[in-house]
C-alpha cells in the first residue's frame, strides 16, 4: 500500500525553455480509437518525424520514468486496458472485458484471441501473467508499486487472467492500464531483461527499428498488428533536437512533422498554413511547494498569505500566453472527481494582508524560491512571484539548480519554496493525492512535510471506496481541505502543446500526455 | 625533410605528462562536485542503503588517490565506465560521436580559412585604407554575437528562408553530412574568424614589409606570383599556430552549436550528460576533448615544422 | 608548443625615436575605443538617473511591446522596460567583465613572468600545468565548473579565473623570454639588481602590454561566456538586468520578436568593439615596433 | 646638368625629392633635389650617415619605397624610361634582367621558406623564359661563380642553413643571374665580418666587371666606398653635399661636411691622427633649415649659411659641392 | 697563462671555458681563455662573430657562468653567482644603445635606481650624484627627465655608460659600444672612454670587430678565433708585426681609406667552421695559407713571439711573412 517516491520534475530536462512536463505522465497505449474526425482518406506509408528535446533513455517500460522514453515504447508495448480519449476512464485494449467478484477482491479478465506480438507469436495469458508479475517484482526501483494491491496473478486458461487483490482497490483497472503493465512475451522470449529491451517486442502498431543514441530512434510499422489496416504510417522517427527554435524551424521547414515541446512564447507563431499549433487538454498542475520543515512555512497563515499574493492570471498570461487557466484545486480538470467549485486561494490583497497579520512573520521575511535551471517558464513564473511578494516585504531570492540537483534538493527538503508540476499517469486521482497529502506515501506530501490528519484519512478512505459517488464526495472534501491548508499554492493548469505539420492527420494527445500513433497518417 | 621530424617522438613524450594532468583534472572535476555522486545517480530511488551500496560499488568509499588510481587503471583498459543515462558503455557512446564533432571542427577550420585568407590578404594589401579598417572592424561584430544567436539567424535565413540547407541534424551519408554541417560549421567559423583575420592580416603585413618580399620584387615578382610564392607561405606559418590554439576554442564552441543544430556530437553529449549528472560520460567527453586538443598541439608543431624550414625542434641549444 | 612561439620573433632594432613619442590622444583606435567604452561606463554609472523605468518593474499588461514612445526599445515578456534593463545591464556586465579578467590577469601574468624569467624547473612545472588547462576548451571547463559550483556570479568569477589565467601566463611568459634577452634587462641584472626587482621594474612594464591587449578581448570573451551560460540556464541570478540573461531570455523569441535578442547583442558588440579598439590602440602605443 | 661621364649614363637621377605626405601639398622631406649619373659599368657610391637619405634614394630608384613615402618630384632615367613614374607592370619586366638589388641583411632578404636555388632561379625563369631545369642549372652555375663550394648541394639549402657570408653570395648570385645593366646595393656588407666583407666586396666588384653591370653602392663606411667605387656622392640630411671621383674627394674634400666626416673616421693606415667628432645632431626632418643643412654643426659657418638654400654646383673638373663658401674655405684646383 | 701577475691586475680570467649543449652536440664557445687587465688599461678584444668575444664579456660581467676556469677581480676569485658588491666592481656597456636602456624609465630613474640599490651615496645626495654622472659622460642635466626614446644613439650610449659608472666600477666591459653609432659620433664615445680611463683610472675591456676603431683607443689587443685567444700584444706591436696568420689576415681584410686595387685575392678564404665540429690541430689550419701538416696534428698554445708581451698561438709564429700586409703597403 505504501507508495514509492515518484520523480517530481522532469529528470534531466534538457529542453531549454520548454514547457515543464511532469515525468509522471503516461498512460496506456492507444488503439485505433481516435475520436476526432479528420478530413480525407488515410494514406498508407510515410515516415512521421517527431522532433523532441531529448532522447529516450531506455525502452524498459517497468524501470523508466522519463516521458520521452515512455511515449516511445508505448508505440510498441500495449497494456490490457487503455485510457479513454477524455482521459477520465478506461477501456479494454488487449482485454475483451473483465468481471469483479462480489467481495471486490478478484478480477477475472478475458483476453482478445488472436493478438500477435510483432515477432509473430500469439499473445496468451501466460505472457500477461509474466508481464504483470515482472512489473510487481520491480516495485522498489520501478513502477511496480502501482501493483501494490495485487496479491496474485494467475492464468487459468489461454485467454483468461485472474487477478486476486489483498483488499478492495478502486484504481485497479486504471493501474493495469499503466504502460508498466504492458504485455511482453513470457520470459522475454528467452532473453535476459537487458537484452530484451535492446529491441523490445510487443503487440503495438509499431515495432523496433533502430536507435542511434542522442541522434534518432526509429520505429517501423508492425506487419503483425492485430488491428488490421493499422498503422497507416510506415515508420516513425524521433529526432533529438535540443534547441526549441530549431525544432520549430524544422517543422516549419518540413524537416520534421511534429514539435514535441514548442515554447509557449512563440506558440502562436508556430501556426501557419503549413503547421498547426495544437493544444490538448492535460492533467498538468503547476504549483509552488512550501517546505513546512523550514520556518515560517509551517505557519498556515504564511502559506495562505503567499497564495493570496500570487497573481495567477499574470502567470497564465506571461508563461502560457493565455493558453491555460488559473488553478483552483489540488486536482486537475482532466482528472476524475475534479471539483470545479473548490475554493482554492486566488490573488486577494485583503486576504493576503489579513493572513500576514495573523502570521508569525507579520512584517515579512526573506526566503528563496528553487527552480531548475534552463526552464524559461519556471524562471518567468519565479520572477512574477518574486515581484508579487515584494510589496509584502517578503524578499525572494531565486535559486537555480541544474535539474538533477534541483530534484535532489527537493527530495532532501533542502529548499524553502519550490516550483513544481505534476501530470497524471493513470486515469485515477489516487496516484497524485497519495503523493501530495500522505506523508507516508513516501514523498513527505510532495516534499512539503504537510501532514493533516483529515486529509490523510480522506485520501485513505477514497482509495478503498469503489463506489464512484462516495469517492467523489470524499475527493471533494479532500480538495476543500487542501485548498484551505494551502500546502501548495496552485498556480495553473496547462494544456499540452504540440506543433503539428498540417499534413499530419489524427494526431491526438490524451490528458495523460501519451499520443497513440496507430491511426495517424500523413498526406502527401 | 623527414630529418626535421625527429622531434616528433620527443614531442609526443612531452605530451604525456600533460595527458596525465588532464586525467587528474577530469577526475577531480567529477569528484569535486558537492554531494555524493551515488545519490545523484540513484536520483528517485535513493535510499541510504542503496546509496551506500552503490558508493561501495563505485569505489567512492576509498580515498581520493586510490580512486584516482582505479580510474587510471580502468582507463588503461579502455574502460571508461557505463553511462548512467544510456546504460551503455561510455566508450562506445563517445566513439560514436567523435567523428561527428571531428568533422564539424575540421569543416569549420576549412570554412574559417576560406573566409579569413582572402579577407586578410585584401586588408593587408592597403594597410590603413578603408578596406583595411572595414576588415579589422566588421569581424569584431562577430565577436560580440553569441554563437547560438548567429546559428539560429543562419537557420532562419538559409534553411527556412531560402531552404538551401536543412534545419539542423546530421544526415546519413558523407555528402549529406557536409550539407547538414555547413551552417553549424559556418557559425563556428564566423565566431573564430575575427581572431584569425586579425593575426593573418598582421602576419601578412609583416611579410609584405619584409626584406625578402622586397627582394622578390627586385626580381620582378608581383601580383599573384608574389603572393603565392612568397607572401602566403610565410604568412601562413604564424597562422598555423594561431589556428592550432583556436581549435580548442572551436571545440568549445561545438558545445553550443551542436545544441542549436541538433548535431549528435561530443558537445551535445557533454551538455546532456552534465545536466543529467551522467559523470562517466562527462569524464569521457572531457578526456577525449582534452586529448584531442593535446594532439592538435602536437600536429600544429609538426605542420609548423614542415612549413617553416627554420624550425628545428630537435635542437634546443640556447646560445 | 612553446618552442614554436618563441621562434617567431625577430627583433628590429633602432626604430626612429619619434614614433614612440606620439601622444596617446593621437592614436585613433585608442581614442575611439576610449570614447565608446567611456560612454558605456558613463551610461552604466548614470543608469539610475537616465533610465526611464526601474529595470525590475514588471507590467504584464505591457509585455512584449515593440519600441514605442513610452518604451523606446520596447518591453520584455514581463513588461519590463528594455532600455532601462540595457542601461542597468551595462553596470553588471562591465563589472563582471572587468572583475572576471582581473584575477586571471594578475595571477596568470605573475606566474608567466616567473616561468619566463627563471626558466628551468619552475618554467617546466608551470607550463605543464598551463598545458593541462589549455587542453580544455574554455567553454567546456567553465560550463562544467559552473555546474559543479552552482550558478551565480561568484561561481562565474571562480570558474573563469580557474580557467583563463593560463592565457595570460602563456602570453606574459613568451614576452618575458623575449624581454629577458633585451640588453636593458641584462644591464639591470649585471647592474646587480635583485631578480624580483628586475622582473617587477624592468621586465614587467615592458611585457604587460600584450597581456593588457589580450585582456580587452578577454572581457568580451567573458561576457560571451556569461551569455552562453545564460543560454544553458546557468547565468546571472534573475531578475538582475544583465545583457547575457537578456539575450538568453529573448532566445525563445528569436524567430518572432527578433529585436529583443538583437538589442542586448548590439550592446555587447559595441562594448566589444570599444574594448578591441582600446586593445589595438594600447598595442600600438605600448609596443610600437611590434605591431601594426 | 652634372655629367659624370662622356658616355650615356645607365642611370640618370634628376632632381629627385622624396617625402612623407602630411597633408595636401605638404611633405616632410626625406630627400631633396638629388641628382647624379651612373655611367655604364661604373661603380657609384652614395655615402652618408643614418638619416642622410641615401637608402631612401636607392629605394626610390628600385621602386621599393616604404608605404607613406612618396616621390615629390624628379626623374630617374634608366635608358629612355623614368623609373619613378614607370608602371608596375613595366617595372616587373625590367626588375631582374635590367636592374636588380642587393640588400643589407641577407638573413631577412632571402625568403626563409624557399630553397636558395629556387630563389635564384626565379628571376631567370620569369625573365629569360628558361625551363625549370635550365633555370636551376643557371642557379647552380651562379652559385658556383660566387665561389661557394659544392654548389649543387648548396642550391638545395634553405637560407638559415647558410652562414652570413654564403647568404650574401647567394644574394649576389640572385641579383646578377640575369646580367642586369645596373645593380643597386644597400649596405651589402655592413652585417658581415671584416674578413667576409673583404671577400664579398671583391666578389661583387669582380662579377659586376665580368658582366659589365654598373653598381650603385650605398654605405656609411667611407673605407668601403674607397675600395669599391670610382665616383661618389656624399649625402647629409637628404641632400647631396659633394660629388666627385673617389680619388679626388678622398684626397681633398670640397665641403665642410665631407671634411668633418673624414676627420671623425678612423683611418687604419694613419692611427696617429686624432679623431674629431662632429658636434651636434643632424637637423630634424620635419623642420628643415632654411639655409645649409650642415650649418649648425659647421666650423666654417657664417651668417649667410643659415639663410639661403644651397645648391649643388660645379667647382672644378667634374666636382660639385653644395657649399657656397668652398672657395673661401678650401683650396680649389680648377 | 698570464705572464704578468701582481696587485696591479684589475681583472684576470684564467683558463675559462664555456660549453653549451650536452653530449654529442657540444658547442665550445670558449676554450681555455686567459687574459688579464691592468689597472687603467684598455684592452681590445677583436675577432669574427662566433669567436667568443661576447661570451667572454658576459662571463666577466657576470651575465653567465663559465663551465670551468676562474675570474678574478683584484686578485680575488669571483664566483658564478655574484653578490651585489661583486657585480658592482665590473660593469658592462652594450652594443645597441637602443635596446640597452629601459624605454619606460627616465634617465633620472635609471641612474637613481642603481645608486639606491648599491647605496653608493646617501639618499639625499642622489640628485647631486646623478648630475655628477651626467657631467662625467658629457650630458646636460636638462636631459634627466627625458625617456631614452628622446635621445640620439650617441646620447643613449652616454647614458648607458653613465649607468655603468654610477656604481663606481673598477672594470668596464664594453661590448662593441660604438658599432651601432654613426662615424661622426663614434669618436665622441671613444674619447669618452679614453678620458674615463685617465680620470677615473678605469680598466676597460673593449670589444670590437672594427680594427681601425680599436687601434685608436686601446693599449693592448687580444685577437680571438673560435673560442681561443690566438694572439695578444701591445697595439703598436700587433699592427706592426702580427705574428699569427689569422691576425695577419684580419689586418689585411680591413678596408682602407685610400683607394685600393680589389683585383688581388682576398686575404683569407671562407668562414670560420662550426664551433661544434672543431678541426683537429690548430683550429685555424683549414683557412690558413701557411698551414703545414704539423698544424693539423698539434694544437698550438699561446707563447711569447718576438717580445715577452707579445704572445701568439702559432707553431710558426715569427717565421711567417705577412703577405697580404705587404700587398696593401705596395698599393698605398
User: Hey, where are the domains in chain D?
Assistant: 11-98+180-329
What element of type H or E holds A374? none
**Does E269 contact chain D (CB < 8 Å)?**
yes
Whether the pLDDT of residue D322 is over 80: the answer is yes
Q: Could you tell me which residues come within 8 angstroms of residue A292 by beta carbon, excluding any fewer than 6 positions away?
A: A298, A448, A449, A450, A451, A487
Contact yes or no, D with A (3+ CB pairs under 8 Å): no
The closest CB to that of D165, out of E184, E211, E271, belongs to E271
Instruction: In whole angstroms, give the CA distance from residue D268 to residue E256.
Output: 7
Residues of C in contact with A318 (CB under 8 A): 60, 63, 77-78
CA A380 → CA A22, A377, C257, E283, distances in Å? 18, 5, 17, 85
> Residue for cell digits 602566403?
B232
Secondary structure class of D44 (helix, strand, coil): strand
Is A375 in contact with C233 (Cβ distance < 8 A)?
A: yes
The closest CB to that of C233, out of A384, A397, A400, belongs to A400
User: What pLDDT does A435 receive?
Assistant: 86
User: What pLDDT does C287 receive?
Assistant: 57
Grid coordinates belonging to B200: 593573418
User: Hey, where are the domains in chain B?
Assistant: 12-76, 93-307
Grid coordinates belonging to E211: 680594427
User: What pLDDT does A88 receive?
Assistant: 81
**Does A379 contact chain C (CB < 8 Å)?**
yes
Is E27 in contact with B315 (Cβ distance < 8 A)?
A: no
**Does E30 contact chain B (CB < 8 Å)?**
no
End-to-end CA distance of chain D: 18
Residue D231 main-chain phi, psi, to 5 deg: -125, 160
Q: Which CATH number fits domain B93-307: 1.10.3720.10, 3.40.50.1860, 3.30.460.80, 3.60.15.10?
A: 1.10.3720.10
* Cis amide bond preceding C239, omega within 30: yes
Instruction: In whole angstroms, give the CA distance from residue D333 to residue A443.
Output: 120
Q: Which of B11, B143, B198, B265 to mutate to test the interface with C (most CBs of C within 10 A)?
A: B143
Residue E112 main-chain phi, psi, to 5 deg: -65, -35
Is E118 in contact with C13 (Cβ distance < 8 A)?
A: no
- For residue E163, give how far its alpha carbon lies from the nearest alpha carbon of chain C (Å): 8
Beta bridge partners of D14: D75
- Confidence class for position B164, pLDDT limits 50, 70, 90: confident
Instruction: In whole angstroms, give the CA distance from residue C32 to residue C280.
Output: 11
Kindly report the pTM of this predicted structure: 0.78
Instruction: In whole angstroms, give the CA distance from residue E178 to residue E189.
Output: 7
Residues of A in contact with C253 (CB under 8 A): 265-266
Secondary structure class of E312 (helix, strand, coil): strand
Query: Nearest residue on chain E to B318, judged by CA atoms?
Result: E20
What element of type H or E holds E250? helix E245-253
Is E27 in contact with B318 (Cβ distance < 8 A)?
A: no
Give the number of beta-carbon pairs within 8 Å between B and C. 151
Q: Could you tell me which residues come within 8 angstroms of residue C267 by beta carbon, excluding any fewer than 6 positions away?
A: C86, C89, C90, C93, C243
Beta bridge partners of D34: D16
Nearest to A375 by CA among A331, A407, A347: A407
Asked if CATH classification 1.10.3720.10 holds for the domain at C75-291, the reply, yes or no, is: yes
Instruction: In whole angstroms, give the CA distance from residue A492 to residue A377.
Output: 12
Q: What is the DSSP letter of D180?
A: -
Instruction: In whole angstroms, give the CA distance from residue C38 to residue B12.
Output: 48
- For residue D66, give how far its alpha carbon lies from the nearest alpha carbon of chain B (Å): 8
Whether the pLDDT of residue B47 is over 70: the answer is no
Residues of D in contact with B225 (CB under 8 A): 126
* Mean pLDDT to the nearest integer, E249-278: 74
CB burial of E184-211 (b: ≥16 within 10 Å; e: otherwise) equals bbbbbbbbbbeebbeeeebbbbbbbbbb
Contact yes or no, A with C (3+ CB pairs under 8 Å): yes
Instruction: In whole angstroms, give the CA distance from residue C1 to residue B301.
Output: 6
- For residue A512, give how far its alpha carbon lies from the nearest alpha carbon of chain C (Å): 26
Q: What is the DSSP letter of A116?
A: B
Residues of A in contact with C151 (CB under 8 A): 373, 400-401
Over chain D, what is the mean pLDDT?
A: 85
Grid coordinates belonging to B168: 539542423
User: What pLDDT does A381 receive?
Assistant: 93
Whether the pLDDT of residue E5 is over 70: the answer is no
User: What pLDDT does C13 receive?
Assistant: 29
Grid coordinates belonging to D138: 643557371
Residue A64 main-chain phi, psi, to 5 deg: -105, 135
Q: Which of B1, B219, B221, B304 to mutate to test the interface with D (most CBs of D within 10 A)?
A: B219
Whether the pLDDT of residue C174 is over 50: the answer is yes
Grid coordinates belonging to A57: 533513455
Secondary structure class of C235 (helix, strand, coil): coil
Is A245 in contact with B43 (Cβ distance < 8 A)?
A: no
Nearest to E244 by CA among E329, E316, E323: E316
Grid coordinates belonging to E332: 698605398
Instruction: In whole angstroms, give the CA distance from residue B277 to residue B257.
Output: 21
**Does E27 contact chain B (CB < 8 Å)?**
yes
What's the ipTM? 0.75
Give residues 241 to 260 of A whose Cβ lies within 8 Å of C.
Answer: 244-245, 248-249
Q: Which of C190, C197, C288 to mutate to test the interface with E (most CBs of E within 10 A)?
A: C190
* Mean pLDDT to the nearest integer, C130-146: 83
User: What pLDDT does C211 receive?
Assistant: 84
Amino acid at each position: 500500500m505504501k507508495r514509492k517516491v515518484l520523480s517530481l520534475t522532469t529528470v534531466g530536462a534538457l529542453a531549454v525553455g520548454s514547457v515543464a512536463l511532469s515525468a509522471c505522465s503516461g498512460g496506456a497505449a492507444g488503439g485505433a480509437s481516435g475520436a476526432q474526425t479528420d478530413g480525407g482518406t488515410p494514406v498508407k506509408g510515410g515516415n512521421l518525424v517527431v522532433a523532441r528535446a531529448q532522447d529516450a533513455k531506455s525502452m524498459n517500460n517497468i524501470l523508466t520514468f522519463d516521458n520521452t522514453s515512455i511515449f516511445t515504447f508505448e508505440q510498441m508495448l500495449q497494456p490490457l486496458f487503455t485510457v479513454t480519449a477524455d482521459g477520465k476512464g478506461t477501456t479494454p485494449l488487449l482485454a475483451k472485458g473483465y468481471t469483479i467478484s462480489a467481495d471486490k477482491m478478484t478480477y477475472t479478465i478475458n483476453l482478445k484471441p488472436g493478438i500477435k506480438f510483432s515477432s509473430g507469436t500469439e499473445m496468451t495469458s501466460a505472457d500477461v501473467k509474466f508481464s504483470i508479475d515482472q512489473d510487481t517484482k520491480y516495485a522498489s526501483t520501478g513502477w511496480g508499486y502501482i501493483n501494490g494491491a495485487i496479491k496474485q496473478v494467475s492464468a487459468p486458461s489461454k485467454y483468461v487472467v485472474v487477478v486476486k487483490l489483498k483488499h478492495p482497490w478502486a484504481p485497479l483497472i486504471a493501474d493495469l492500464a499503466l504502460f508498466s503493465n504492458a504485455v511482453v512475451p513470457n520470459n522475454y522470449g528467452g532473453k535476459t531483461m537487458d537484452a530484451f529491451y535492446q529491441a523490445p517486442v510487443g503487440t503495438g502498431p509499431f515495432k523496433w527499428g533502430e536507435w542511434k543514441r542522442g541522434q534518432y530512434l526509429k520505429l517501423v510499422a508492425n506487419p503483425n498488428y492485430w488491428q488490421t489496416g493499422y498503422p497507416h504510417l510506415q515508420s516513425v522517427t524521433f529526432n533529438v533536437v535540443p534547441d526549441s527554435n530549431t525544432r520549430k524551424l524544422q517543422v516549419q521547414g518540413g524537416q520534421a512533422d511534429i514539435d514535441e515541446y514548442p515554447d509557449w512564447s512563440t506558440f502562436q507563431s508556430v501556426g501557419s498554413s503549413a503547421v498547426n499549433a495544437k493544444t490538448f487538454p492535460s492533467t498538468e498542475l503547476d504549483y509552488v511547494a512550501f517546505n513546512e520543515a523550514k520556518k515560517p512555512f509551517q505557519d498556515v497563515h504564511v502559506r495562505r498569505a503567499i497564495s493570496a499574493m500570487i497573481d495567477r492570471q499574470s502567470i497564465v498570461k506571461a508563461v502560457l500566453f493565455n493558453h491555460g487557466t488559473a488553478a483552483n484545486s489540488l486536482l486537475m480538470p482532466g482528472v476524475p472527481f475534479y471539483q470545479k467549485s473548490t475554493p482554492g486561494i486566488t490573488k486577494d490583497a485583503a486576504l493576503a494582508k489579513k493572513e500576514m497579520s495573523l502570521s508569525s512573520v507579520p512584517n515579512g521575511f526573506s526566503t528563496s524560491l528553487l527552480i531548475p535551471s534552463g526552464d524559461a517558464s519556471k524562471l518567468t513564473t519565479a520572477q512574477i512571484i518574486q515581484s508579487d511578494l515584494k510589496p509584502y516585504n517578503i524578499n525572494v531570492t531565486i535559486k537555480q539548480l541544474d535539474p538533477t540537483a534541483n530534484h535532489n534538493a527537493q527530495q532532501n527538503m533542502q529548499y524553502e519554496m519550490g516550483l513544481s508540476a505534476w501530470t497524471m499517469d493513470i486515469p485515477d486521482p489516487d496516484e497524485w493525492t497519495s503523493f501530495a497529502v500522505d506523508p507516508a506515501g513516501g514523498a513527505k506530501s510532495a516534499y512539503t512535510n504537510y501532514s493533516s490528519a483529515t486529509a490523510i484519512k480522506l485520501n485513505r478512505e477514497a482509495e478503498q471506496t469503489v463506489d464512484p459517488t462516495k469517492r467523489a464526495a470524499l475527493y471533494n472534501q479532500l480538495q476543500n481541505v487542501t485548498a484551505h491548508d494551502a500546502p501548495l499554492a496552485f498556480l495553473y493548469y496547462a494544456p499540452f502543446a504540440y506543433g503539428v505539420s498540417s499534413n499530419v492527420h489524427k494526431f491526438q494527445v490524451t490528458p495523460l500526455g501519451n499520443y497513440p500513433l496507430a491511426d495517424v497518417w500523413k498526406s502527401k | 625533410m623527414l630529418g626535421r621530424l625527429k622531434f616528433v617522438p620527443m614531442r609526443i613524450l612531452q605530451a604525456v605528462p600533460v595527458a596525465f594532468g588532464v586525467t587528474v583534472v577530469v577526475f577531480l572535476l567529477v569528484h569535486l562536485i558537492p554531494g555524493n555522486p551515488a545519490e545523484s545517480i540513484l536520483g528517485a530511488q535513493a535510499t541510504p542503503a542503496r546509496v551506500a551500496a552503490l558508493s561501495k560499488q563505485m569505489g567512492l568509499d576509498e580515498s581520493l588517490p586510490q580512486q584516482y588510481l582505479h580510474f587510471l587503471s580502468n582507463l588503461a583498459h579502455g574502460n571508461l565506465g557505463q553511462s548512467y543515462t544510456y546504460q551503455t558503455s561510455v566508450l562506445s557512446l563517445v566513439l560514436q560521436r567523435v567523428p561527428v564533432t571531428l568533422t564539424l571542427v575540421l569543416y569549420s577550420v576549412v570554412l574559417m580559412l576560406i573566409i579569413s585568407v582572402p579577407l586578410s590578404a585584401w586588408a593587408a594589401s592597403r594597410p590603413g585604407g578603408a578596406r583595411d579598417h572595414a576588415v579589422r572592424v566588421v569581424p569584431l561584430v562577430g565577436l560580440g554575437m553569441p554563437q547560438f544567436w548567429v546559428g539560429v539567424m543562419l537557420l532562419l535565413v538559409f534553411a527556412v528562408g531560402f531552404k538551401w540547407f536543412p534545419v539542423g541534424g546530421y544526415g546519413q551519408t558523407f555528402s549529406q553530412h557536409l550539407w547538414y554541417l555547413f551552417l553549424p560549421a559556418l557559425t563556428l567559423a564566423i565566431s573564430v574568424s575575427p581572431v584569425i583575420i586579425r593575426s593573418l592580416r598582421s602576419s601578412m603585413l609583416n611579410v609584405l614589409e619584409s626584406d625578402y618580399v622586397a627582394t622578390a620584387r627586385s626580381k620582378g615578382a608581383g601580383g599573384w606570383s608574389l603572393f603565392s610564392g612568397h607572401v602566403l607561405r610565410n604568412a601562413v606559418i604564424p597562422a598555423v599556430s594561431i589556428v592550432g590554439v583556436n581549435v580548442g576554442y572551436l571545440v568549445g564552441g561545438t558545445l553550443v552549436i551542436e545544441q542549436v543544430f541538433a548535431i549528435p556530437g561530443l558537445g551535445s553529449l557533454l551538455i546532456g550528460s552534465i545536466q543529467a549528472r551522467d559523470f562517466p560520460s562527462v569524464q569521457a567527453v572531457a578526456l577525449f576533448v582534452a586529448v584531442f586538443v593535446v594532439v592538435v598541439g602536437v600536429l600544429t608543431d609538426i605542420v609548423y615544422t614542415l612549413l617553416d624550414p627554420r624550425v628545428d625542434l630537435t635542437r634546443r641549444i640556447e646560445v | 608548443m612553446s618552442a614554436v612561439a618563441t621562434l617567431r620573433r625577430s627583433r628590429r632594432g633602432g626604430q626612429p625615436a619619434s614614433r614612440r613619442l606620439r601622444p596617446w590622444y593621437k592614436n585613433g583606435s585608442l581614442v575611439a575605443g576610449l570614447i565608446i567604452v567611456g560612454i558605456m561606463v558613463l551610461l552604466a554609472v548614470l543608469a539610475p538617473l537616465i533610465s526611464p523605468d526601474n529595470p525590475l518593474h514588471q507590467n504584464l499588461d505591457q509585455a512584449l511591446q515593440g519600441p514605442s514612445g513610452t518604451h523606446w526599445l520596447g518591453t520584455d515578456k514581463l513588461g519590463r522596460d528594455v532600455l532601462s534593463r540595457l542601461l542597468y545591464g551595462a553596470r553588471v556586465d562591465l563589472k563582471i567583465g572587468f572583475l572576471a579578467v582581473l584575477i586571471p590577469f594578475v595571477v596568470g601574468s605573475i606566474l608567466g613572468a616567473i616561468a619566463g624569467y627563471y626558466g628551468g624547473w619552475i618554467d617546466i612545472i608551470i607550463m605543464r600545468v598551463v598545458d593541462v588547462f589549455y587542453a580544455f576548451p574554455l567553454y567546456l571547463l567553465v560550463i562544467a565548473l559552473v555546474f559543479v559550483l552552482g550558478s551565480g556570479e561568484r561561481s562565474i568569477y571562480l570558474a573563469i579565473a580557474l580557467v583563463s589565467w593560463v592565457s595570460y601566463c602563456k602570453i606574459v611568459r613568451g614576452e618575458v623570454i623575449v624581454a629577458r634577452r633585451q640588453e636593458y634587462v641584462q644591464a639591470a641584472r649585471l647592474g646587480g639588481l635583485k631578480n624580483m626587482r628586475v622582473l617587477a621594474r624592468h621586465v614587467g612594464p615592458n611585457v604587460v602590454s600584450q597581456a593588457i591587449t589580450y585582456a580587452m578581448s578577454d572581457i568580451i570573451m567573458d561576457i560571451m561566456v556569461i551569455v552562453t551560460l545564460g543560454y544553458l540556464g546557468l547565468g546571472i541570478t534573475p531578475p538582475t538586468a544583465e545583457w547575457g540573461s537578456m539575450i538568453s531570455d529573448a532566445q525563445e523569441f528569436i524567430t518572432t520578436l527578433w529585436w529583443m535578442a538583437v538589442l542586448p547583442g548590439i550592446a555587447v558588440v559595441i562594448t566589444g568593439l570599444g574594448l578591441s579598439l582600446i586593445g589595438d590602440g594600447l598595442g600600438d602605443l605600448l609596443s610600437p615596433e611590434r605591431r601594426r | 646638368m652634372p655629367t659624370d661621364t662622356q658616355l650615356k649614363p645607365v642611370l640618370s637621377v634628376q632632381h629627385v625629392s622624396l617625402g612623407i605626405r602630411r597633408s595636401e601639398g605638404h611633405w616632410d622631406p626625406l630627400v631633396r633635389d638629388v641628382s647624379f649619373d651612373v655611367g655604364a659599368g661604373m661603380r657609384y657610391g652614395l655615402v652618408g650617415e643614418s638619416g642622410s637619405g641615401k637608402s631612401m634614394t636607392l629605394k626610390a630608384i628600385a621602386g621599393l619605397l616604404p608605404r607613406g613615402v612618396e616621390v615629390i618630384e624628379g626623374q630617374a632615367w634608366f635608358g629612355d624610361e623614368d623609373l619613378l613614374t614607370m608602371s608596375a607592370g613595366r617595372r616587373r619586366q625590367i626588375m631582374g634582367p635590367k636592374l636588380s638589388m642587393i640588400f643589407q641583411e641577407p638573413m631577412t632578404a632571402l625568403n626563409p621558406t624557399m630553397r636558395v636555388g629556387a630563389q635564384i632561379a626565379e628571376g631567370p625563369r620569369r625573365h629569360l623564359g628558361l625551363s625549370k631545369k635550365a633555370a636551376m642549372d643557371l642557379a647552380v652555375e651562379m652559385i658556383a661563380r660566387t665561389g661557394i663550394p659544392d654548389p649543387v648541394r648548396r642550391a638545395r639549402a634553405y637560407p638559415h642553413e647558410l652562414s652570413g657570408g654564403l647568404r650574401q653570395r647567394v644574394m649576389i648570385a640572385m641579383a646578377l643571374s640575369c646580367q642586369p645593366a645596373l645593380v643597386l646595393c644597400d649596405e651589402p656588407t655592413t652585417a658581415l665580418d671584416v674578413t667576409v666583407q673583404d671577400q664579398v666586396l671583391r666578389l661583387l666588384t669582380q662579377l659586376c666587371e665580368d658582366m659589365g653591370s654598373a653598381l650603385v653602392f650605398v654605405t656609411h663606411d667611407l673605407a668601403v666606398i674607397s675600395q669599391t667605387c670610382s665616383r661618389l656622392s656624399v649625402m647629409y640630411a637628404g641632400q647631396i653635399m659633394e660629388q666627385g671621383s673617389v680619388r679626388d674627394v678622398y684626397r681633398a674634400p670640397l665641403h665642410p661636411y665631407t671634411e668633418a666626416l673624414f676627420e671623425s673616421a678612423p683611418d687604419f693606415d694613419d692611427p696617429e691622427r686624432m679623431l674629431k667628432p662632429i658636434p651636434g645632431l643632424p637637423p630634424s626632418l620635419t623642420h628643415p633649415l632654411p639655409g645649409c643643412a650642415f650649418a649648425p654643426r659647421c666650423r666654417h659657418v657664417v651668417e649667410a649659411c643659415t639663410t639661403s638654400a644651397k645648391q649643388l654646383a660645379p667647382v672644378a673638373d667634374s666636382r660639385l659641392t653644395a657649399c657656397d663658401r668652398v672657395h673661401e674655405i678650401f683650396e680649389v684646383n680648377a | 697563462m698570464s705572464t704578468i701577475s701582481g696587485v696591479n691586475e684589475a681583472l684576470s680570467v684564467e683558463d675559462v671555458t664555456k660549453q653549451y649543449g650536452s653530449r654529442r652536440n657540444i658547442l665550445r664557445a670558449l676554450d681555455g681563455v686567459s687574459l688579464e687587465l691592468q689597472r687603467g688599461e684598455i684592452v681590445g678584444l677583436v675577432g669574427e662573430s662566433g669567436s667568443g668575444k661576447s661570451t667572454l664579456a658576459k662571463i666577466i660581467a657576470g651575465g653567465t657562468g663559465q663551465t670551468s676556469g676562474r675570474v678574478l677581480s683584484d686578485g680575488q676569485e669571483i664566483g658564478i653567482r655574484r653578490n651585489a658588491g661583486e657585480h658592482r666592481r665590473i660593469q658592462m656597456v652594450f652594443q645597441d644603445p637602443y635596446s640597452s636602456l629601459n624605454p619606460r624609465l627616465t634617465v633620472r630613474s635609471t641612474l637613481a635606481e642603481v645608486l639606491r640599490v648599491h647605496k653608493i651615496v646617501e639618499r639625499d645626495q642622489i640628485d647631486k650624484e646623478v648630475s655628477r654622472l651626467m657631467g662625467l659622460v658629457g650630458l646636460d642635466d636638462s636631459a634627466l627627465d627625458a625617456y631614452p626614446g628622446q635621445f640620439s644613439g650617441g646620447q643613449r650610449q652616454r647614458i648607458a655608460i653613465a649607468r655603468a659608472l654610477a656604481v663606481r666600477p673598477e672594470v668596464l666591459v664594453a661590448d662593441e659600444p660604438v658599432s651601432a653609432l654613426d662615424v661622426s659620433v663614434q669618436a665622441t664615445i671613444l674619447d669618452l672612454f679614453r678620458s674615463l680611463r685617465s680620470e677615473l683610472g678605469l680598466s676597460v675591456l673593449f670589444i670590437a670587430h672594427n680594427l681601425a676603431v680599436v687601434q685608436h683607443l686601446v693599449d693592448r689587443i687580444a685577437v680571438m678565433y673560435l673560442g681561443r685567444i690566438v694572439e695578444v700584444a701591445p697595439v703598436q706591436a700587433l699592427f706592426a708585426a702580427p705574428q699569427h696568420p689569422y691576425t695577419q689576415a684580419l689586418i689585411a681584410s680591413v678596408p682602407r681609406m685610400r683607394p685600393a686595387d680589389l683585383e688581388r685575392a682576398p686575404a683569407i678564404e671562407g668562414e670560420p667552421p662550426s664551433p661544434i665540429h672543431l678541426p683537429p690541430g690548430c683550429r685555424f689550419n683549414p683557412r690558413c695559407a701557411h698551414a703545414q701538416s704539423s698544424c693539423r696534428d698539434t694544437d698550438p698554445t699561446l707563447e711569447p713571439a718576438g717580445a715577452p708581451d707579445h704572445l701568439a698561438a702559432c707553431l710558426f709564429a715569427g717565421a711567417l711573412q705577412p703577405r697580404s700586409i705587404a700587398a696593401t703597403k705596395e698599393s698605398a
